[in-house]
């Protein structure tokens, strides 16, 4: 059974990201994990929606994990909607107003609060679409063909 695969090598944030990606897939989004929008930033989940909307989800496995994140506001300019994903034990009051909230685990997740939308400019949206496409394709190729050498890597 796929749900019985060994998850022991996943970090807590990655388990949450897995459940988030499952839920977003069910909503018709395509997702990638650990995408780098620019040097120094790495988003946990980037999702591309049916209308080309771009969502970013940062997965926080604990209060300490959230409190130690000094970068999250830097993600806002790269997406139409920004979400936190946490587990049911997380103190959701900590999360800043106006941001979205997804609660989940390794197996599924649910959007509990939609964030204030912004609207990416067309040029930025195209840049993100390209980054998403290249990231996904290169990761896929590396999994299918471990012998490949990717340019610039």
**Residue ranges in contact with a second copy by CB under 8 A:** 1-3, 5, 18, 21-22, 25-28, 30-32, 48, 52, 107, 126, 129-130, 132-134, 136-141, 143-152
Minimum CB separation of residue 1 from a second copy in Å reads: 8
49 or 62, CB closer to a second copy? 49
- Is the Cβ of residue 18 or residue 60 nearer to a second copy in the bound state? 18
Shortest Å distance, C-beta 97 to a second copy: 31
Closer of 76 and 129 to a second copy (Cβ): 129
State the DSSP H helix or E strand holding residue 101, giving kind and residue range, or none if neither.
strand 100-104
CB of 133 to a second copy, least distance (A): 4
Q: How far is the CB of 34 from a second copy (least distance, A)?
A: 11
The answer for residues whose C-beta is within 8 angstroms of residue 15's C-beta and 6 or more apart is 7, 61, 105, 106
DSSP assignment letter at 74: G
Structure tokens at 72: 């999250």
What per-residue string of b and e applies to 111-150 under the rule 16 or more CB within 10 Å gives b? beeebeeeebeeeebeebeebbeebbeeeeeeeeeeeeee
């Amino acid at each position: 059974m796929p749900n019985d695969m060994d998850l022991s090598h996943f970090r807590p944030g990655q388990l949450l990201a897995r459940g988030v990606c499952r839920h977003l897939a069910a909503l018709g989004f395509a997702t990638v994990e650990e995408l780098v929008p620019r040097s120094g930033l790495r988003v946990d989940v980037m999702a591309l929606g049916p209308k080309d909307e771009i969502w970013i989800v940062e997965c926080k496995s604990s209060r300490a994990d959230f409190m130690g994140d000094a970068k999250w506001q830097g993600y806002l300019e790269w997406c139409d909607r920004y979400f936190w994903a946490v587990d049911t034990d997380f103190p959701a009051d900590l999360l800043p107003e106006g941001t979205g909230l997804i609660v989940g685990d390794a197996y599924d997740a649910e959007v509990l609060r939609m964030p204030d939308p912004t609207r990416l400019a067309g040029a930025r949206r195209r840049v993100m679409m390209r980054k998403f496409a290249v990231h996904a394709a290169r990761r896929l190729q590396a999994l299918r063909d471990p012998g490949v050498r990717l340019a610039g890597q």
